[in-house]
Amino acid sequence: MSVTIREIPLPESADHPDWVAFISLANEESRAIVGGNEWDETPEGVLAGAKARRESTITRRFLSTDDGVPVGYARVAVDLRESPSEANIHAYVSPAARRSGLGRKLLDQLFAVIPDGVSRLSSWITTPIPGDDDPRWEAPSGVGAVLADDPGILLARDLGMRLGQVEEINRYDFANPAIAPDEALRLAQEKAGDDYEVLCFEGAVPEELIDDVAELYTVAARDVPEGELETDDVVWDAQKLREFVAEQTASNRFFVAVVRHRPTGRIVALNSLSSLIDRPEGAVDQHWTVVLPEHRGHGLAQLVKAANLIAVHQAVPEAPSIITYNATENQAMLAINRRLGFRPIGMVASFQRPVALGE
């Protein structure tokens, strides 16, 4: 066994062997989560997105091989726009190479390159949904749990990381919705009433809407349940939103549904989705769903969700599903998802710790 770990710089071309191996391992990991290849990405698409984010994200990547065969990867990323004081760390080891200490060695590589100015580390570890007889680690909120003896969970504990939140991964099957999307939209519009209208667009946010949409992104960043996680305060403005959408559209088709309050003309609710440009047959990712606090209680979350899933399915009929994450304590949003047809497929443990233990 001759295991090596080396850093993988961002290549000029997506066909670089190390880059192809890195993406192949990431896809292997994704398939274990969703049970198929619908979450796969291409080397070309990931590279386009990574190049677009070079100004807003610091990322270091490492690849491990055993006699030339890729067996693991790791990356550390700092989102300068949303979490400049936090570095997210992640490592994956192929099943055949586990229980060899490789995961810890990969993480040690990440610890050695944490950028200056970062005060805390985070890690998101996916586990199966615990069964009735499985050991469970309950969420700090008291709602939901992860598999306590999952190897990734055990390693996080060994590294001194603290569980701050549990999230649920949910999948919407376009072929098997709980309610016909048109009917879900009709019911939501009926509840909302004539004061609210839904608008859908793809790509850049129209300039006449951009300030209101930026405000919704700020509300989403501040209001989303965070459990016991420490977060940076984020304020979005029009320019920050333009830059974010430009990054998204480098490798994705970006779909947004908003609700306008007719009496005031304000945009008061939003849902966003993205579909890979070069893999339209892949799963759609769901991002934010947010409603301004003073407009909650009118069914607007279901209104934007239903409208946007109709829009994306019309634009990308090849897509089999939508995949989304929700904090387990966010029962109101989970209930809306259930009504539409989202079903749980996995759990995520969100861990944090100071960069230096003991701080």
Boundaries of every domain in the chain: 3-167+349-354, 172-326
User: What integer pLDDT is reported at residue 356 of this predicted model?
Assistant: 84
Residue written as token pair 């615990």: 130
Q: What is the mean pLDDT of residues 165-187?
A: 97
Structure tokens at 354: 């100071």
User: Is the pLDDT confidence value at 315 over 70?
Assistant: yes
1 pLDDT tier (thresholds 50, 70, 90)? low
Angle subtended at Cα 110 by Cα 106 and Cα 116, rounded to the nearest 5 degrees: 175
Give tens-digit pLDDT for 324-338: 999 999 999 999 999
What stretches of 96-180 show up as alpha helix (H) in DSSP?
102-111, 151-158
Domain 172-326 classification at class level: alpha beta
Name the residue among 135, 138, 131 with its Cα closest to residue 166.
138
Which CATH number describes the domain made up of 3-167+349-354? 3.40.630.30
Q: To the nearest whole number, what is the mean pLDDT of the chain?
A: 96
Percentage of the chain with pLDDT > 90? 95
User: Is the pLDDT confidence value at 123 over 80?
Assistant: yes
User: What integer pLDDT is reported at residue 358 of this predicted model?
Assistant: 57
Give tens-digit pLDDT for 24-80: 999 999 999 999 999 999 999 999 999 999 999 999 999 999 999 999 999 999 999
User: What integer pLDDT is reported at residue 2 of this predicted model?
Assistant: 84
What stretches of the chain show up as alpha helix (H) in DSSP?
17-34, 43-52, 102-111, 151-158, 181-192, 210-223, 238-248, 300-315, 331-340
Query: Are domains 3-167+349-354 and 172-326 of this chain identical in fold?
Result: yes
Q: Are 322 and 119 in contact (CB under 8 A)?
A: no
User: What integer pLDDT is reported at residue 67 of this predicted model?
Assistant: 92
Phi, psi of 264 (to 5 degrees): -110, -15
Give tens-digit pLDDT for 251-284: 999 999 999 999 999 999 999 999 999 999 999 9
218 pLDDT tier (thresholds 50, 70, 90)? very high
Q: Are 307 and 185 in contact (CB under 8 A)?
A: yes
